[in-house]
């Protein structure tokens, strides 16, 4: 097996985590200005990935290599990545084990958000994925841990969130590579200028197959972290799941020394560095990622009291319609390749609603929407009281969550409903998942919506998450951060999801924002 030393992994989930952290401010309160630089803090404590879950095996270490990278978003240093690669023997079979620890510290609306992503992949000599362990830590929220093991034509998954473990089987497509295969492929068979190579990988962070395409450019002089320059080849890597591409600069051995990815109107850059340099404390207070990604607009006269708002939305270089949902809440009219007219007119809470059957995925308990959790049920009972009308229950629940979650904690990217029901703190994501789970506890189908929301005090749009209830045969939006009894025309929906264990990973709902924040322009055309 060809050894590859400089290995990077784990940026996939990091991209999505950063986008998920961009919004969810209190939409009824003013947005704070960016904070001045603060005294540096130590990064999140490192804990090695536990690898004992995916079926007990005998391991014999033969060789190990490692690398360290620092991560910048724009001019701000936000974290580091530590990667190791080693050959192991499992039940007499030679395999490649790659592990990464990605540490990130950013600021959201004036509060620190720390995240640690641990990912271990075990692959066959040809790069096919055999097993993985992926864990995300975002204190004070509980960690999320996913363990996967390929067993014939099945992928066996165990997901643990808030001390609750769920098991799942997914069909497995033979030949799917580990994400580490990108580095392995370049080390074993370097690309020549102008050449391209494609292969299918499985992304453990997203529980999804993706096609990766690498295209080699020419050799060019590249400035590295220490200020020196080196002649390196640029490799452009695209991924059919992530709506962005990465530019990597590699040496003659296929080792990656620098990467760049466009994100939120900035450039995320990683540099190969020494361990000593990588683990230096992160300031993290020079860039408020949530404030920096807001989209300024002209005032909407009635704000969230508007029943209908018409917007002109432009995404330079992109098809704006691709990133917006068209349903009974909002309609899309194309003006040009980059510009659309969006009319938002959400349905109001109906009267005398009938019970209409919905798909099981909108009623079932899941890893993030634990509607059978005792605390979730207790809150659902308190909110509903003796009421039996599903519309009035939904209205009461929206108001209840709005008034009960008074600690607006922006240091958590996304906690599960069970955690929120216990701790009663969080931002828009926590309001949304708790309300959705409470609705299901009372047999009202629910789902999650992701998009942008108007912030009245500052006249900006920012990333947001809210809930929807299936009432009288249609999806009716509810926003527990506002508690107004539904929403008006000041929400722009970009995705929705049941958050089902059998569906796409919840973080995939944030992908549309990942592509357009930092470049989207919004003009208010009309409101009523």
pLDDT digits (tens, 9 = 90+) for 260-315: 998 877 899 999 999 999 988 665 445 565 666 789 999 999 999 999 999 999 99
More confident residue, 352 or 382: 382
User: Helix count (H) and strand count (E) of the chain?
Assistant: 9, 23
Q: What is the pLDDT of residue 439?
A: 98
- 31 inside domain: no
Residues 256 and 374 both lie in one domain: no
pLDDT tens digits along 402-420: 999 987 765 566 789 999 9
Using CB atoms within 10 A of its CB, is residue 89 exposed (0-12), middle (13-18) or buried (19+)?
middle
Supply the CATH number for residue 355's domain: 3.10.620.30
Whether the ω angle into residue 140 lies within 30 degrees of 0, i.e. cis, is yes
Q: What is the pLDDT of residues 166-178, one digit of tens each?
A: 898 999 999 999 9
Of 290, 314, 331, which marks where a domain is finished? 290
The answer to the question of residue 38 being in a domain is no
Of the three residues 255, 290, 325, the one that is the final residue of a domain is 290
235 and 375 assigned to the same domain: no
Token pair, residue 108, equals 């959201």
Residues 379 and 263 in one domain: no
Last residue of a domain, one of 240, 268, 290: 290
Name the residue with tokens 């096919």.
128
Closest by Cα among 326, 347, 330 to 470: 347
| Contacts of 87 by beta carbon, 8 Å cutoff, 6+ apart | 1, 3, 61, 62, 63, 94, 95, 96, 97
Give the count of domains, the chain: 2
The three-state DSSP-derived secondary structure of 386-430 is CCCCHHHHHHHHHHHHHHHCCECCCCCCCCCHHHHHHHCECCHHH
Q: Which two tokens stand for residue 487?
A: 């929403």
* DSSP letter for each residue of 155-224: EEEEEEETTEEEEEEEE--TTPBPTTHHHHHHHHSPPPTT-EEEEEEEETTTTEEEEEEEEEEEEEEEE-
pLDDT of residue 262: 87
* CB of 393 closer than 8 Å to CB of 349: no
Could you tell me which residue, 253 or 303, shows the higher pLDDT?
303
Q: Are residues 341 and 283 in the same domain?
A: no
Q: Name the more confident of 30 and 373.
A: 373
SS3 of 27-94: the string is: CCCCCCCCCCCCCCECCCCCCCCCCCCCCCCCECCCEEEEEEEEEEECCEEEEEEEEEEEEEEECCEE
Over the stretch 360-384, which tens digit does the pLDDT of each residue have?
A: 999 999 989 999 999 999 999 999 9
Domain span holding position 319: 303-527
- 485 and 425 in a common domain: yes
SS3 category, 289:
helix
- Pair (220, 320) in one structural domain: no
Average pLDDT over residues 179-194: 90
Q: How far apart are CA 257 and CA 63, in angstroms?
A: 22
The 10s digit of each residue's pLDDT in 126-151 is 999 999 999 988 777 778 899 999 99
CB atoms near residue 359 (< 10 Å): 12
Residue 297 falls within a domain, yes or no? no
CB neighbour list of residue 256: distance below 8 Å, 6 or more residues apart: 6, 7, 8, 183, 248, 249, 250, 272
Residue 180 lies in a domain: yes
Same structural domain, 142 and 228: yes
On whether both 247 and 308 belong to a single domain, the answer is: no
Range with lowest mean pLDDT among 283-297, 329-343, 450-464? 283-297
| Same structural domain, 232 and 97 | yes
pLDDT higher than 70, residue 155: yes
**Per-residue confidence (pLDDT) for residue 435, from 0 to 100:** 98
Model pTM?
A: 0.82
Residue 186 shares a structural domain with residue 328 = no
Q: Which residue has the higher pLDDT, 526 or 413?
A: 526
pLDDT of 446 higher than 70: yes
The answer as to whether 274 is a domain residue is yes
Please indicate, yes or no, if residue 41 is contained in any of the structural domains: no
- Each residue's pLDDT tens digit, 43-54: 333 343 443 443
> Do 363 and 470 sit in the same domain of this protein?
yes
Q: Does one domain contain both 116 and 246?
A: yes
d(CA 376, CA 401): 11
For residue 286, the surrounding DSSP H or E stretch is none
Q: Please check whether residue 3 lies inside any domain of the structure.
A: no
Quick check: is 36 in a domain? no
> Angle of helix 390-404 relative to helix 428-441, nearest 10 degrees?
150
């Amino acid at each position: 097996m060809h050894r590859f030393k400089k290995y990077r992994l784990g940026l996939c989930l990091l991209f999505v985590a950063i986008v998920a952290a961009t919004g969810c401010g209190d939409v009824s309160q003013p947005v704070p200005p960016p904070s001045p630089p603060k005294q540096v803090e130590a990064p999140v404590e490192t804990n090695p990935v536990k690898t004992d879950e995916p079926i007990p095996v005998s391991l014999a270490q033969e060789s190990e290599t490692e690398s360290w990278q620092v991560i910048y978003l724009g001019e701000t240093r936000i974290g580091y990545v530590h990667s190791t690669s080693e050959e192991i023997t499992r039940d007499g079979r030679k395999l490649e084990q790659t592990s990464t620890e990605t540490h990130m510290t950013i600021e959201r609306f004036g509060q620190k958000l720390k995240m640690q992503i641990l990912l271990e992949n075990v692959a066959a000599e040809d790069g096919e994925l055999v097993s993985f362990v992926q864990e995300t830590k975002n204190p004070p929220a509980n960690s999320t841990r996913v363990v996967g093991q390929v067993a014939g034509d099945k992928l066996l998954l165990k997901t643990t969130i808030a001390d609750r473990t769920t098991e799942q089987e997914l069909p497995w497509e033979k030949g799917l590579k580990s994400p580490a295969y990108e580095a392995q492929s370049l080390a074993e068979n370097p690309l020549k200028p102008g050449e391209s190579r494609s292969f299918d990988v499985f992304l453990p962070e997203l529980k999804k197959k993706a096609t990766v395409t690498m295209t080699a450019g020419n050799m060019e002089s590249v400035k590295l972290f220490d200020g020196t320059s080196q002649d390196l080849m640029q490799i452009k890597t695209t991924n059919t799941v992530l709506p962005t591409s990465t530019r990597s600069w590699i040496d003659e051995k296929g080792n990656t020394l620098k990467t760049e990815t466009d994100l939120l109107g900035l450039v995320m850059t990683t540099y190969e560095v020494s361990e000593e340099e990588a683990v230096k404390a992160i300031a993290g207070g020079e860039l408020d990622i949530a404030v920096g990604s807001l989209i300024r607009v002209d005032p909407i006269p009635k704000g969230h009291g508007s029943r209908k708002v018409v917007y002109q939305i432009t995404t330079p270089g992109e098809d704006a319609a691709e990133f917006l949902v068209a349903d009974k809440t909002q309609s899309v009219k194309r003006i040009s390749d980059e510009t659309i007219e969006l009319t938002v007119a959400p349905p109001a809470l109906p009267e005398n609603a009938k019970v209409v059957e919905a798909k099981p995925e909108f009623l079932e308990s899941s890893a993030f929407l634990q509607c059978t959790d005792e605390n979730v049920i207790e809150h659902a009972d308190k909110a509903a009281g003796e009421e039996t009308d599903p519309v009035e229950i939904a209205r009461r629940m929206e108001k209840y969550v709005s008034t009960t979650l008074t600690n607006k904690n922006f240091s958590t990217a996304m906690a599960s409903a069970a955690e929120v029901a216990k701790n009663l703190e969080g931002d828009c994501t926590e309001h949304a998942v708790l309300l959705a789970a409470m609705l299901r506890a009372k047999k009202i189908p629910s789902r999650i919506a992701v998009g942008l929301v108007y912030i009245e005090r500052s006249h900006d749009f920012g990333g947001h998450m809210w809930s929807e209830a299936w009432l009288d045969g249609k999806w009716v939006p509810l926003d527990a951060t506002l508690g107004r009894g539904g929403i008006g025309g000041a929400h722009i929906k970009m995705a929705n999801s049941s958050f089902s264990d059998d569906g796409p990973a919840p973080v995939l709902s944030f992908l549309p924002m990942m592509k357009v924040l930092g470049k989207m322009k919004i003009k208010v055309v009309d409101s009523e």
